Structure 1
Amino acid sequence: MTQLVSQAAVEVSGVVLRRTLPENGAVEGRIDFWRERWMLCGRCDHRWHVDLDWIDRWDQAKEICPGCGMTCEHEDSPRVTVDSDDPALEDDRVSQFFWYHTTMQPDWPTRHFDPAAVLTPETRRRMGGEQRVSAWAAGQRAKALHVGTYEAAVHNMLRRIRDQAAERGQFYLYRVRLKPSVVVREELLVDPGNFVGDVALDEVCPPGVDVAPYLNYHEDPGGLSLALGRDAIASVQRIAVPLPDTWDERWVRDSVEALEGMSGTVVPATGKPGRFTRSSSPRADLGRALGASLAGRLPVNLQSQFASAAAFAEGEDPEQWARRTSSLFALIDNPPRALAALDGQDLREI
């Protein structure tokens, strides 16, 4: 196993500008969750710079294209696009950058991936028997893997926590190095995933192509992500997230004191007759408010996902919850802590 020795990150106000691991020449792209994005109009081809608050207003039809006045309701309305100065857009530099991925799999990318291994006999019968299970498993194995920016990986984790109710699931952050010999698809794709994000590898990487770059609309909007096969990956490093000992001691202490001083008595929620409403408690309400207060300090496109990931449930240990929530916040507010932790991990060759 090889261990990397890294130069110090160049950091300005929590933003990682450039980082190089000299032992193998790998380059860390700029990491900035708050950065401005580029918009491109599908009608008039006007291109302009906006911040994330502008995009949030745009999605609510409160902004227009400066070139033609179009709003977001139109089919060819402006969409976020890549930064044309992103060096990762150069095909011969794609393999020089680190790429990232988050998952609950502790051994990603799994060498002998068997998606049918977790299926119960009952599930196999409902799927139509072993022949159909085998066909389904082959389809799962034919899906492309996805890697992207550090921001996209964290964004993906928060989205999965919210959408899949995985608040207490153990996630892992992977840093990925590609093989120097990879062949990159010349055409930049536009978010090729279906409604659940799946991409068939052979559809985006025909014979002779190893990596398909695409504009990511959903995680780190405007960022560059890659669809690829397992054979395109040279090595990975892994850390469990959120990281221990990265929490804000003062925030944790204040939050724990507030929660422990609050009643945990469950109060049935009231609502219109016949409508289901979740019971709550003063302590759970306070916990959600504390998580929402941290979410409010994040870029607007992450606030909803973070608030869901930081949800406090009655019966939880306040200190464990506060430490986890604060450490989750640190992944976004202080990326160098996660990068330093990755630096200390051995490479696992694929």
Structure 2
Amino acid sequence: MERQIDFSRERQMLCGICGLQWAVDLDWIDRWEQAKETCAGCGTTCEHEDAPRVTVDQGDPALDDAEVARFSWYHTSTQPDWPTQDFDPAAVLTPATRMMMGGDQRVAAWAARQRAKALHVGTFEAAVHNMLRRMRDQADHDSQFYLYRVRLKPSVVVREGWLIDPSNFVGDVVLDEVCPTGIDVARYLNYHEDPGGLSLALGREAIACVQQVPVPPPNTWDETWVRGAVTALDSSSGALVPATGQLNRFMRPSSPRAALGHELGAALAGRLPINLRDQFTSAAAFSEGEASAKWARRTSGLYAMIADPACVLTELDGKEYRDV
């Protein structure tokens, strides 16, 4: 069962000082983060330790324990077989890396800690947020991503209530800490991806099956936009032009073609919700020497995942489920 996908929906704010809870739009949150807004109840600004933060919307249908396993959940990953059947995090380590880590015993302990981490699934919006953040912040700009639609086992036991985002500074959650014996799934308030939405921490055994499409999914890009972008890019010079100005020695030479690619990507970003624009602009960055058609299809397809998620769901609908 699908929930409504809305990247621009209002969010709930909760003040830790006066207890006021109220709805705001994404533009308000952007101003708030720049200290241009205050709590409507006590006038607190974002600098205060107990300043208002996004909180769960009490109308979120995922708060109903009985509904959690009926919903579709989503995940984005660079792994083409997520969640991996026999996950061995040490398999890719070279002998030199194993030595640097302290030998086989320490590697085995490290691998056990990796396997003890919870998996994460969330809303469609959260999955897209996560992917764009990784493209911008984790050197995954050129990585092949996959979007997964996740079905849970009907028998899963859901932890009562919801948690404040339990992730550590690198986004990891130890499964046993949030899902003790007898619990399969824990809901948590996501602060980082789709802020204010509920995501799930769970073990692999809670997942029944998944569907997968590559990102961008086929047939989701706007062919008219793609043709126009390709024509413009191929008509522009790819010759590198040295940067000018006092800081030119610190800047790489660029071409008019790359500059045009940046402008085209930024124009699409300007149509998106404000909290996604920087991430999308980074994800849509045009590299020197990149093929125009490949870049245009990828950029248009990424845009469609936010602006027209129905076309992505249609692609998923045509894929077979893979049992986990």
Query: TM-score per shorter chain, which class?
Result: over 0.9
**Residue 289 in structure 1 maps to residue 263 in structure 2:** yes
Aligned-residue offset at 1:168 = 2.3
Pairs aligned (count): 324
Q: Choose the corresponding residue for 1:133, options 103, 107, 110.
A: 107
Deviations 1:46-69 (A, max 9, x none): 111111010000001000000000
**Residue 201 in structure 1 maps to residue 170 in structure 2:** no
The separation in 2 between residues aligned to 1:214 and 1:254, in whole angstroms, is 43
Q: Residue 250 of structure 2 aligns to a residue in which SS?
A: coil
The separation in 2 between residues aligned to 1:315 and 1:278, in whole angstroms, is 14
The separation in 2 between residues aligned to 1:112 and 1:167, in whole angstroms, is 27
Asked if the contact 2:15–2:39 (Cα under 8 Å) also holds between the matched residues in 1, the reply is yes
What does residue 335 of structure 1 align with? 309
What does residue 266 of structure 1 align with? 240
What does residue 62 of structure 2 align with? 88
**Residue 179 in structure 1 maps to residue 153 in structure 2:** yes
Asked if the contact 1:155–1:220 (Cα under 8 Å) also holds between the matched residues in 2, the reply is yes
What does residue 44 of structure 1 align with? 18
Q: Write out aligned runs for 1:3-14 (5 A).
A: none
Aligned-residue offset at 1:243 = 1.4
Deviations 1:195-250 (A, max 9, x none): 11000001111111111100001000000100000011111111111012221122
Q: For residue 136 of structure 1, what is the amino acid of its counterpart?
A: W
What does residue 102 of structure 1 align with? 76
Aligned-residue offset at 1:30 = 1.3
Q: Write out aligned runs for 1:19-168 (5 A).
A: 27-168=1-142
What does residue 220 of structure 1 align with? 194
Root mean square deviation of aligned Cα: 1.2
The separation in 2 between residues aligned to 1:207 and 1:269, in whole angstroms, is 60
The separation in 2 between residues aligned to 1:186 and 1:73, in whole angstroms, is 32
Aligned-residue offset at 1:273 = 6.0
Q: For residue 106 of structure 2, what is the amino acid of its counterpart?
A: R
Aligned-residue offset at 1:185 = 1.0
The separation in 1 between residues aligned to 2:51 and 2:215, in whole angstroms, is 37
Aligned-residue offset at 1:260 = 1.3
Structure 1: gaps (5+ residues)? 1-26
Aligned-residue offset at 1:261 = 1.4
Aligned-residue offset at 1:278 = 2.5
Deviations 1:75-100 (A, max 9, x none): 10000111101111011211111100
TM-score, length-scaled by structure 1: 0.90
Deviates more, 1:308-317 or 1:249-258: 249-258
Deviates more, 1:178-187 or 1:43-52: 178-187
Asked if the contact 1:271–1:277 (Cα under 8 Å) also holds between the matched residues in 2, the reply is no
The separation in 2 between residues aligned to 1:44 and 1:278, in whole angstroms, is 50
The separation in 1 between residues aligned to 2:221 and 2:323, in whole angstroms, is 31
TM-score, length-scaled by structure 2: 0.97
| Percent identity of paired positions between Structure 1 and Structure 2 | 70
**Residue 321 in structure 1 maps to residue 305 in structure 2:** no
The separation in 2 between residues aligned to 1:273 and 1:35, in whole angstroms, is 41
The separation in 1 between residues aligned to 2:252 and 2:31, in whole angstroms, is 30
Q: Residue 134 of structure 1 aligns to a residue in which SS?
A: helix
The separation in 1 between residues aligned to 2:300 and 2:249, in whole angstroms, is 34
What does residue 308 of structure 1 align with? 282
Structure 2: gaps (5+ residues)? none
Q: Residue 38 of structure 2 aligns to a residue in which SS?
A: coil
Change (3 A) 1:330 1:217: same
Asked if the contact 2:63–2:161 (Cα under 8 Å) also holds between the matched residues in 1, the reply is no
The separation in 1 between residues aligned to 2:134 and 2:196, in whole angstroms, is 20
